[in-house]
């Protein structure tokens, strides 16, 4: 069993500059530990997931930020393939207009593809805030975002309904 976490410190303010570090450790063997500096300065956290020959590092940044939500606002999801020595081997980034906000849970398939659940987020077209809708999607470095499903429907809302966990089926051919 692995666990991942983040710690950060403020380097300067203003302008706000953070030093964000992400780590992953094996519960049964603490000597299996990896730590890296977040390569995206505007992202505070992230997750490391073990995969063949290294790790997936996932993080989300918002560009630009502020309230009321500025025009052109949107989240940017970053996916990095990291080797065990910490070198970035591959990178994939979503654009703000793809609306992929923070993922709450990431499930790794045996073929190093990933199913994520979280939120789509965009500027509220009728107000000064943001609207959301729950989403499940599949990601691979080979194909990027392969598919997206909105399990609660396609309506946008200001409520905070969200999906928290992905549960794989016993046969490994589906998710709940």
Domain ranges of the chain: 2-149
Cα angle, residue 79 at apex, residues 76 and 81 outer, rounded to 5°: 160
Q: Return the top range by mean pLDDT from 43-47, 127-131, 141-145, 153-157.
A: 141-145
Long-range contacts made by residues 71-80, C-beta under 8 angstroms, separation at least 24?
A: 71/123, 72/96, 73/122, 73/123, 73/130, 74/98, 74/99, 74/121, 74/122, 74/123, 75/99, 75/100, 75/101, 75/102, 75/121, 77/101, 77/103, 78/39, 78/40, 78/43, 79/139, 79/141, 80/39, 80/56
C-alpha distances (whole Å) from 10 to each of 18, 26, 75 are 5, 28, 22
Q: What is the DSSP letter of 39?
A: S
Mean pLDDT lowest among 14-18, 52-56, 58-62, 92-96: 14-18
Q: What is the pLDDT of residue 127?
A: 81
Q: What is the pLDDT of residue 81?
A: 97
Q: Which helix (H) or strand (E) holds 77?
A: strand 74-83
Mean pLDDT lowest among 11-15, 99-103, 168-172: 168-172
Alpha-carbon span 46 to 24, nearest angstrom: 11
Q: What is the pLDDT of residue 172?
A: 65
Contact in structure between 46 and 6 (CB atoms under 8 Å): yes
> What pTM, to 2 d.p., does this model score?
0.86
Alpha-carbon span 132 to 123, nearest angstrom: 9
Q: What is the pLDDT of residue 78?
A: 95
Between 162 and 102, the more confident residue is: 102
Strand partners, 138: 115, 147
Alpha-carbon span 117 to 175, nearest angstrom: 11
């Amino acid at each position: 069993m692995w666990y991942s976490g983040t710690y950060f410190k403020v380097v300067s303010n203003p302008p706000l500059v953070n030093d964000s570090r992400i780590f992953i450790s094996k519960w049964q063997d603490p000597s299996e530990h990896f730590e890296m500096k977040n390569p995206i300065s505007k992202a505070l956290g992230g997750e490391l997931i073990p995969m063949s020959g290294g790790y997936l590092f996932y993080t989300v940044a918002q560009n630009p930020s502020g309230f009321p939500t500025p025009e052109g606002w949107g989240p940017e999801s970053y996916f990095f393939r990291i080797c065990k020595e910490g070198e970035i081997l591959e990178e994939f980034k979503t654009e703000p207009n793809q609306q992929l906000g923070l993922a709450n849970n990431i499930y790794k398939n045996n073929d190093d593809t990933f199913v994520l659940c979280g939120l789509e987020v965009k500027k509220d077209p009728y107000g000064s805030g943001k609207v959301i809708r729950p989403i499940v999607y599949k990601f691979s470095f080979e194909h990027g975002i392969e598919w997206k499903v909105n399990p609660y429907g396609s309506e946008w809302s200001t409520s905070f309904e969200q999906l928290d966990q992905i549960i794989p089926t016993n046969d490994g051919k589906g998710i709940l």
